[in-house]
Chain A
């Protein structure tokens, strides 16, 4: 390879670093998003709710679609779980495996989670589903970022 190639590589590198350096990444605002769901509509059956979050990553801005399973747990508390499987990121669904109707099921490698989001031991996922930060205002649900499950 001639000097030209070497120089070109030298010039490109700093730019690539600039693009992906996490320090330069604008933090997705920890704003809470209105997911258009009333507290009164929440049941003990997990419901899949989709909503949009605005994200800025480097110079790339986009509206990212996110989803949450929202339901009331045994104690009557409202919970919002992320449907993203903690194994390799497929989308889990509620009650779709006839053998385990009261669990979240991942179609990709048969990962399973109990209703509270904790992974069933012996199935591929090694961690519980993430839990969304949540706010209730005027009887409506607002969600923030998905955070590691308290039992993780």
Chain B
């Protein structure tokens, strides 16, 4: 489900079926790194949307966690941890963080959520059909990661 009024109404009445949260981590930077940051954000957003669509009934996709690339490491890590602990407190049992920003990989063990790192594929230079195939392939893998976690931890 998505973070909008219509779908939150459904969430509120069927909470017991929704135990999984998705959050995309989106960096913001300027100058030379701007273009790359945009591509990272775009790519993880597209994939999160698609996987949310397929697993609509058991997941809630939160608004993205955005941060300045220049933000102090400890600070952004703590901010993110505050989100994740809040979500656990709210009863979510599985948390997935999607990102293309390699920096988070170093924090993987500090986070209590599953960090899924998605290497950016330069989609803008691909033709439609090929692009769709690649996205489909990626979504399939993501689906597997999520459903496996459901199966092993339920």
Contacts and interface: CB of A to CB of B under 8 A. Distances in A.
Interface of A: 50, 85, 87-91, 106-109, 124
Contact of A88 (B17, B53, B132, B147): B17
B145 interface: no
B55 interface: yes
B94 to A, nearest CB: 12
Task: Name, among A87, A89, A108, the residue most crowded by chain B CB atoms within 10 Å (CB to CB).
Answer: A108
B55 to A, nearest CB: 5
B5 to A, nearest CB: 9
Contact of A91 (B10, B18, B54): B54
B56 interface: yes
B58 interface: yes
A89 B18 CA distance: 12
A46 to B, nearest CB: 17
Nearest to A108: B58
B58 A91 contact: no
A90 B54 contact: yes
Contact of A89 (B57, B143, B147, B150): B57
Contacts of A108: 17, 55-58
Contacts of B138: none
Interface in B1-55: 1, 10, 14, 17-18, 53-55
Interface string B48-73: 00000111111000000000000000
Closest 3 CB pairs of A and B: A88-B57, A108-B58, A89-B56
Interface-centre pick from B10, B14, B17, B132 (highest chain A CB count, 10 A): B17
Nearest to B11: A88
A109 B56 contact: no
Nearest to A87: B57
Nearest to A83: B54
Contacts of B1: 88
A68 to B, nearest CB: 15
Contacts of B55: 90-91, 107-108
A107 B56 contact: no
Given A88-B56, A89-B57, A91-B56, 5 more contacts: A87-B57, A90-B57, A91-B55, A108-B58, A109-B17
